Amino acid sequence: MKLLAALKIWVVIYPSITIFLFLFGEKLSLFPLYQRTFILTISLVPWIIFVGVPFIDLLLTQVAAAKNKKQ
């Protein structure tokens, strides 16, 4: 169960951080590391908790339901 939760979180975190840094990395590079980290986490943690992981849960539920219908 914990492994599945960790995988779901990673599936959300990796692309979110990558896109965030692609879009804002150059602008953020002007700030010290501790400020960049703060901005990154204050932006992405709510996104991951309230949007990303629930969206992955919804997708997995829909895939499981479709799989059960086929059986």
Query: What are the boundaries of each domain within the chain?
Result: 2-70
Q: Is 40 left (phi over 0), alpha (psi -120 to 50) or beta?
A: alpha
Q: What is the pLDDT of residues 43-52, one digit of tens each?
A: 999 999 999 9
Q: How confident is the model at residue 69 (pLDDT cuts 50, 70, 90)?
A: confident
Percent of the chain at pLDDT > 70 equals 100
Q: How many residues does the chain have?
A: 71
Q: How many CB atoms lie within 10 A of CB 12?
A: 20
What pLDDT was estimated at residue 29?
Answer: 95
- pLDDT for 4 beyond 80: yes
Q: pTM for this one?
A: 0.81
Q: How confident is the model at residue 1 (pLDDT cuts 50, 70, 90)?
A: confident
